[in-house]
Structure 1
């Protein structure tokens, strides 16, 4: 799994050091990563073979020609870049992806289980407090739902 958050810098050639703990056979990212503009956020999304398998399964579950399937195919497959590590564990991000995600020199790599995201640091910092508040709300509501379902709780 991709876990943790790391602040990094893109060098002049748009090279980015991927944390060593992210570069494993267990998550399918031993030799490189798949990278594309995120479907859900203004950042890049990346991961290994396991992430791609999840996307392939999700896309193939939709009927061929379905508008949702086509949109996912265009975004995930069409926007995909396969990026190999150099000898120092860095990937080189294409200029087009950097521009689309608004990446500056300072970036944040955010582990998200089967995937990780690459954010412009300022954009990430603007977002993280709201996301933490949303996570708190989700936990409270999940707890409320679990308590309502407990035996003897008639609420």
Structure 2
């Protein structure tokens, strides 16, 4: 399970260190693709296969389903770590997530996300102000 929040820096060559706790769960090969809210999603191959199955179950006759499938697949790339535990982020993915230098890598249960540090701070501020109301909207959810 991916959890936690880690601040890292992207170097001049577009390489990002993925937290060691995440690397141990990812294996040698993993997937990074566009995420919602202008972040990137990272998946172990086994979890990516589950995502693929869910996407494949969408009706190809539905225009919105086709858009969603194209959104995730067209930017997906299979990644590997270098010897220092870094991953090279493709330029198109960096542009999607507005990544330049400072970023935050967060765990989200079955996957991890990569956020621009300023965007993550803004997102958290907005979510924190609505957290009680947000949680109340999910009947039966308890902590």
Q: TM tier, shorter chain?
A: 0.7 to 0.9
Q: How does 1:62-141 map to 2 (within 5 A)?
A: 62-141=58-137
The alpha-carbon deviation at position 4 of structure 1 amounts to 0.3
CA distance in 1 between partners of 2:37 and 2:99 (Å): 13
Q: Which stretch of structure 1 is more off in the superposition, 51-60 or 119-128? A: 51-60
Relative contact order: is structure 1 or structure 2 higher (C-alpha 8 Å, sep ≥ 6)?
2
**What is residue 61 of structure 1 aligned with on the other side?**
57
Q: Check the 8 A contact 2:29/2:45 in 1, yes or no.
A: no
Q: Which has the higher strand share?
A: 2
CA distance in 1 between partners of 2:135 and 2:110 (Å): 21
**What is residue 152 of structure 1 aligned with on the other side?**
none
Which segments of 5 or more consecutive residues in structure 1 lack a partner in the other structure?
Answer: 147-155
CA distance in 2 between partners of 1:91 and 1:74 (Å): 23
- Superposed CA RMSD: 1.7
Q: Check the 8 A contact 1:50/1:114 in 2, yes or no.
A: no
SS in 2 for 1:68: helix
| Number of equivalent positions | 140
SS in 1 for 2:93: helix
The alpha-carbon deviation at position 130 of structure 1 amounts to 1.2
